[in-house]
Chains A and B, each alone.
Chain A
């Protein structure tokens, strides 16, 4: 059983890590992909939660919106995680010791678990035209969790 530190060291010394560390443009290109997926993820999360809050498209089925935007969210999440692993391999040990990175991973795990459990269930049950208080709370928690992931992610480069 290897400790997390070993996993990070293995990633840093992998062929992916070696490529990302030596290539002149790889980091920049992967970072751009990461940002493009961020725009799609941010848009789908925001729109989904505004529907749950009853701010937008209140007269349309929340289940349909949750199904379609949920797919968009999943695709962009997968792209973000894959490109994120690429970015991580370039500076794995710096991230391992970075409090911002640890916060980001904790918030990301929470946001993903929250989405697959309470959030999806609330969207499936949401009625048309009415908004329950629990639905509002779930939407606000979801927005705060994803915003937290973004802010912690930005902070990796700053602290």
Chain B
């Protein structure tokens, strides 16, 4: 076996019954893809409301924690749907995706976009009670908000680009 392990795993997924089934079905891929786009909208649309609040662009009169509490369950629901549908799409195309530059960029961006809230919640968000009412959040929170908006935009752009390579 001369292939790298990851590429081998992608080939195994690609050749499996489920992967082949999705790829060869008339509608499965486009239906899953539509669900994927809808869940990306749910995830990115709701998290951007929190990001824009921290930047002081919308809903300044409402505490950041209140917005976070109402937005995050929706964001998580979007994330679960996105990850599930995304994995099914990957299953069908794994061997092609492995070689696709846009897909590789997307995976890196997804790792970074996961790191962002991890850092945010373990640092500046711990003292949120001190700044939740401020119309504009402290600069560290604004950096996290900008990072989230930019990285998620990058994920959408790279995700769409997969089809063009």
Contacts and interface: CB of A to CB of B under 8 A. Distances in A.
Co-assembled chains A and B = yes
B44 A39 contact: yes
Interface in B17-47: 30, 34, 37-38, 40-42, 44-47
A39 B41 contact: yes
Interface stretch (A10-18, A30-38, A101-109, A113-121): A30-38
Interface residues of B, number: 30
Interface residues of A, number: 29
Interface string B145-165: 000000011001100110010
A56 B74 CA distance: 10
Given A31-B160, A64-B59, A68-B58, A43 B34 contact: no
Nearest to B75: A43
A46 B66 contact: no
Contacts of A60: 62, 66
Nearest to B160: A32
A69 B30 CA distance: 31
Nearest to B74: A46
B34 A39 contact: no
B105 interface: no
B58 A69 contact: yes
A150 interface: yes
Given A32-B161, A38-B41, A47-B45, 10 more contacts: A36-B153, A39-B152, A43-B46, A47-B49, A56-B70, A60-B62, A64-B59, A69-B58, A71-B58, A72-B52
13 contacts: A28-B161, A32-B160, A36-B153, A36-B157, A39-B45, A39-B152, A42-B42, A43-B42, A43-B45, A47-B49, A50-B74, A57-B62, A158-B30
Interface of B: 30, 34, 37-38, 40-42, 44-49, 52, 58-59, 61-62, 66-67, 70-71, 74, 152-153, 156-157, 160-161, 164
Interface of A: 28, 31-32, 35-36, 38-44, 46-47, 50, 56-57, 60-61, 64-65, 68-69, 71-72, 150-151, 154, 158
